[in-house]
Amino acid sequence: MLLARMAKAMSCTLMETGLVRRKMETCFTSPTRLILLLRPQPCAPPFSRSPSSRSSSASRQPTGPMAQDDSVVSAQWLHEHLGQPDVKVLDASWYMPVEKRDPLQEYQVAHIPGALFFDIDGIVDLTTDLPHMLPSQEAFAAAVSALDIKNHDKVIVYDGKGFFSAPRVWWMFRVYGHNKIWVLDGGLPQWRTSGFVLESSTPGDAVQKTKAANSVVERIYNGQLASDVTFQTEFQPHIFWTLEKVKHNMDAQSHQVVDARSKGRFDGVAPEPREGVRSGHIPGTKCVPFPEMFDDAPILLPADEIRKKFEQAGISLDRPIVVTCGSGVTACILALGLYRIGKQDIPVYDGSWTEWEALPDHDYPKVTSNGS
């Protein structure tokens, strides 16, 4: 009796302090001897970048609490926190024009429950013909407010390919000062692979919010004031590069320029997907194709593997980097990967090759397949 009382008191003390989780088992080695076994259970793993020792995609799926020092959350984490009032999910799917896919229509057919659609061709700078350029601070704040996103919200963004357009929206939010944003690791494909449910019906107000977000952007660029703007922005110019900054960098060489396009497009031997745009690259640029940031699942690679990808391309991770691509979308995937290895302030050249290529060669030189 005395041993049993002592064991009970010790168990209560441990549980009250919360030091360990345990499971008690009793076994009798004799009628008078009681052995109490306390088995500590390890705490949930921290939500952070995956260790390189893990070889499978499944083992790279962290499920613990979020952390500001990583750029993705797992499908498991989102599944466990879906529906919480401060967790907002955005479907930011977008496809190249040659693919002839309608991302909004696909969203309406199947999406993560509760997700809203973020149109990167609608929430844009309407003063330029360049595709999906970053909108003004006022337009972005009004559009995000129309999507019912608040500054205290945790925003999870995904796309239909896994890693393609979602990192662009991740970068847009960060440019305007909202760091409570993560990309769903592996996107919709990983959500499906995990066996989690998809919503096949879209409430009318969900589509209406997308239309309202696009509409308020148009009104602002037409000189009208937006009402009910609840989302506050704070511009972060150090992660947003313009044409002028890239032009200046050609002489200053302060940053290494890294291009996310395929090697063929970069070298000028494969065509660009946009009619009338030559392939090639900005002189002095290095190439790290964006698919090198993730595996076949697709899951974002562990930090040490990401480091190797850049180092193998001749890029020094001790020097500043700016990323570019075709039109400012897949460059953000490189920024996402670099964020995982601690490079959290990587600027993206918004206009990218589409802007640079269209300008006069004598002022904005290019390296193309014909040697120009």
The string over 222-235, giving b where at least 16 C-beta atoms fall within 10 Å of a residue's C-beta and e elsewhere, is eeeebeebebebee
Given this model, what pLDDT does residue 54 score?
Answer: 34
Give 340-368 pLDDT, tens digit per residue.
Answer: 999 999 999 999 999 999 999 999 999 99
The CATH number of 65-221 is which of 1.10.287.3510, 3.40.50.300, 3.40.50.720, 3.40.250.10? Answer: 3.40.250.10
Q: Is the pLDDT of residue 73 over 50?
A: yes
DSSP helix/strand/coil, 302? coil
Backbone angles phi, psi at 154, to 5 degrees: -90, 125
pLDDT of amino acid 369? 85
Cα–Cα distances in Å, from 122 out to 53, 135, 218, 277, 353?
42, 9, 9, 23, 21
Active site residue 12: no
Q: What is the mean pLDDT of residues 191-201?
A: 95
Q: What is the pLDDT of residue 66?
A: 61
pLDDT band of residue 67 (cuts 50, 70, 90) is: low
Given pLDDT bands bounded at 50, 70 and 90, which one contains residue 372?
A: low
CATH of segment(s) 237-357:
3.40.250.10
Average pLDDT estimate for 313-317 = 98
The Cβ of residue 254 has, within 10 Å, a number of other Cβ atoms equal to: 11
Report the pLDDT averaged over residues 146-174: 98
Per DSSP, 59 falls in state G
Residue-averaged pLDDT of the chain: 86
The amino acid that residue 307 corresponds to is R
- Domain positions in the chain are 2-41, 65-221, 237-357
Q: What is the pLDDT of residue 37?
A: 31
Is 123 a residue whose pLDDT tops 60?
Answer: yes
Of all residues in the chain, what percent carry a pLDDT higher than 70? 81
What confidence tens digit (pLDDT) does each residue in 2-60 have? Answer: 334 444 443 443 333 333 333 333 333 333 333 233 333 333 333 433 333 333 444 44
Helix (H, G, I), strand (E, B) or coil at 207: helix
- The predicted model gives 319-329 an average pLDDT of 98
What pLDDT, on a 0 to 100 scale, did the predictor assign at position 61? 45
65-221 and 237-357: same fold? Answer: yes
Query: What's the CA gap between 230 and 228, in Å, rounded?
Result: 6
> What DSSP string describes 92-116?
-----GGG---HHHHHHHSB-TT-E
Distance CA 185, CA 66 (A): 13
Taking residues 107-123, report their average pLDDT. Answer: 97
Report the C-alpha gap between 292 and 322 in whole angstroms. 17
SS3 category, 89: strand
Residue 152 pLDDT exceeds 50: yes
Predicted local distance difference test score (pLDDT) of residue 227: 86
CB-based contact 183:71 (threshold 8 Å): yes
Q: Which pLDDT belongs to residue 162?
A: 98
Give the active site residue among 27, 43, 287, 325.
325
Q: What pLDDT digit, counting tens, does each position of 235-292 carry?
A: 999 999 999 999 999 999 999 999 999 999 999 999 999 999 999 999 999 999 999 9
As given in the structure block, the two tokens for residue 143 are 């559009």
Spatial contact of 132 and 165, defined as CB atoms under 8 Å apart? no
Assess whether pLDDT exceeds 70 at residue 336: yes
Confidence of residue 201 (pLDDT cuts 50, 70, 90): confident
Tokens of 146: 């129309």
ω into residue 298 within 30 of 0, thus cis?
yes
Lowest mean per-residue pLDDT among 120-124, 182-186, 199-203:
199-203
